[in-house]
Homo-oligomer: A and B are copies of this chain.
Amino acid sequence: MPKVDEARLWASLMEMAEIGPGVAGGNNRLAFSPEDDVARGLFRNWCQAEGLAVTADAFGNQFATRAGAEDLPPLLIGSHLDTQPTGGRFDGVLGVLAGLEVMRALNAAGHQTRRPVVLVNWTNEEGAIIRPMMGSEVFTGALSLEDARAMIDHRGNRLGDMLDALQNGAGDLAPGFPVSAYVELHIEQGPVLEAAGETIGVVKSGIGFRRWLLTFTGRDSHAGPTPMEVRQDAMVAAAHAVLIADAEARALPGGRGTCGRIESPNGSQVTVASRVELTLDLRHEDLAELDALEARVLGRIRTQAAALNVGFEVVNTANSPPVPFAPEVVAAVDAARLKNGFSGRQMVSGAGHDACNIARVLPAGMIFVPSVDGISHNEAEYTAPGDCAAGAQVLLDTVIALAG
């Protein structure tokens, strides 16, 4: 049976990491950057060297096709090569280069699949400069090519112009084509597998998440002469909100509640705060539980703010329902894990991935491997060579199972 080559995979990962090096051992390879362009060219060259047919669609999603025995809709595998500005060497990259390793292993073994297998490098997964996971959105039709090209990044650049400036950017394909299923290998980006001493996460669903910007409006008054009982303190209301979100998420198995950014514009150390802005992110794998979590958290925050005589406004900024992965793909991944004798568990993806977009329209699944210390979106991100290879082997055996 075909086997992945751990050393070959690791060498490719390290060679890719030389493109757009970060400042602390990781990578800075933003989507549409010159570094992204170089990475895309290297990906194409590597795939062509394996005899794969490399194309790109009009959004720049790159596809490397290994022909099947029959002219069936292909099995799609892959991930993304772009990174956060202080990103790691594995987030996304592992899924693409493990897919390449699958192709190399199939070639080395002379294994002919029934279906074609297509390896994809999605454009702009990270969303560091604009919204994330756009490549898969355009592929599924959730976002039109025209709307995507018209978007403006935080520096004022039009996405379409940035895409057109790439040497290895948009191709001739119209976005979207029939595929039988999609499988994505990714680092866990959390601490669960490592803490359990397990190797493979069989991802059964993508978590649902919602985000809000909360604004608390009190009244600025002098920190000395203003008695506590007459204050309208926006900071106190915001602090309650942070603790309410934390407590409610802790009380719900599988729940997540995060207030990651806070601002007190015009705040002063000697003034009761009149305005505090706070981001809130709530997640759960079950839609009804997420609804209930939202109701409890926002309801309690609203009640608490009113009790403090502080104004409260809430603006929803993101809304992504939970997405189950296809049972047949999940089963194939789990079977591949067991076949190789890897420890592991079924788990929920707490982060968004292109696989979540794909899963809304096609059978999809994911494979997780451990992230050391759960660190991701950080140059210190690390996954051991053996774990990278284990994930690639599970991907390879899943490909053989699903592509025939």
Chain B residues contacting A211 (CB-CB under 8 Å) are 269-270
Residue pair A255, B269 in contact (C-beta under 8 Å): no
Chain B residues contacting A233 (CB-CB under 8 Å) are 246, 258
Check if A207 is an interface residue, CB within 8 A of chain B: yes
Residue pair B224, A271 in contact (C-beta under 8 Å): no
| One of B238, B269, B350 near A226 (C-beta < 8 A) | B350
Check if A97 is an interface residue, CB within 8 A of chain B: no
| One of B227, B236, B375 near A221 (C-beta < 8 A) | B375
Chain B residues contacting A209 (CB-CB under 8 Å) are 224
- From A189, A228, A256, A378, residue with most partner B Cβ within 10 Å: A228
Residue interface mask A209-243, B partner, CB < 8 A = 1 = 10100000000111111111110010110111111
Chain B residues contacting A192 (CB-CB under 8 Å) are 225, 227
Residue pair A262, B264 in contact (C-beta under 8 Å): yes
Q: How far is the CA of A242 from the CA of B241 in the complex (A)?
A: 12
- Tell me whether A242 and B250 are in contact in the complex, defined as CB-CB below 8 angstroms, given that A222-B351, A262-B276, A351-B222 are known contacts: no
Check if A184 is an interface residue, CB within 8 A of chain B: no
Residue pair B228, A250 in contact (C-beta under 8 Å): yes
Shortest beta-carbon distance from A195 to chain B in Å: 7
Shortest beta-carbon distance from A119 to chain B in Å: 25
Q: How far is the CA of A227 from the CA of B378 in the complex (A)?
A: 18
Count the copies. 2
Residue pair B273, A267 in contact (C-beta under 8 Å): no
Chain B residues contacting A258 (CB-CB under 8 Å) are 223, 233, 269-272
Check if A376 is an interface residue, CB within 8 A of chain B: yes
Q: How far is the CA of A242 from the CA of B270 in the complex (A)?
A: 14
- Nearest B residue to A255 by beta-carbon distance? B228
Check if A394 is an interface residue, CB within 8 A of chain B: no
Chain B residues contacting A376 (CB-CB under 8 Å) are 221-222, 225
Shortest beta-carbon distance from A378 to chain B in Å: 7
Shortest beta-carbon distance from A320 to chain B in Å: 10
- Tell me whether A225 and B350 are in contact in the complex, defined as CB-CB below 8 angstroms, given that A246-B236, A261-B264, A262-B262 are known contacts: yes
Q: How far is the CA of A260 from the CA of B220 in the complex (A)?
A: 9
Check if A259 is an interface residue, CB within 8 A of chain B: yes
Residue pair B260, A267 in contact (C-beta under 8 Å): yes
| One of B256, B268, B271 near A223 (C-beta < 8 A) | B256
Check if A281 is an interface residue, CB within 8 A of chain B: yes
Residue pair B378, A188 in contact (C-beta under 8 Å): no
- Tell me whether A243 and B250 are in contact in the complex, defined as CB-CB below 8 angstroms, given that A271-B260, A350-B222 are known contacts: no
Chain B residues contacting A226 (CB-CB under 8 Å) are 190-191, 256, 350, 374
Check if A199 is an interface residue, CB within 8 A of chain B: no
- Nearest B residue to A127 by beta-carbon distance? B270
Chain B residues contacting A191 (CB-CB under 8 Å) are 221, 226-227, 230
Check if A388 is an interface residue, CB within 8 A of chain B: no
Chain B residues contacting A264 (CB-CB under 8 Å) are 260-263
Residue pair B249, A273 in contact (C-beta under 8 Å): no
Residue pair A352, B262 in contact (C-beta under 8 Å): no
Cross-chain pairs A/B with CB under 8 angstroms, 10 sampled: A189-B225, A190-B224, A190-B225, A191-B226, A191-B230, A211-B269, A222-B377, A223-B256, A239-B240, A239-B259
- Which A-B residue pairs are the 6 nearest by beta carbons? A190-B225, A224-B350, A261-B267, A225-B350, A239-B242, A269-B279
Binding site for B on A (CB under 8 A): 188-192, 195, 207, 209, 211, 220-230, 233, 235-236, 238-243, 246, 249-250, 255-264, 267-273, 276, 279, 281, 283, 317, 349-352, 374-378
Known: A261-B267, A262-B262. 17 other contacts (CB 8 A): A191-B221, A211-B269, A221-B375, A221-B376, A222-B351, A223-B256, A224-B256, A229-B250, A233-B258, A239-B242, A260-B271, A260-B272, A261-B268, A261-B273, A263-B264, A269-B279, A269-B317
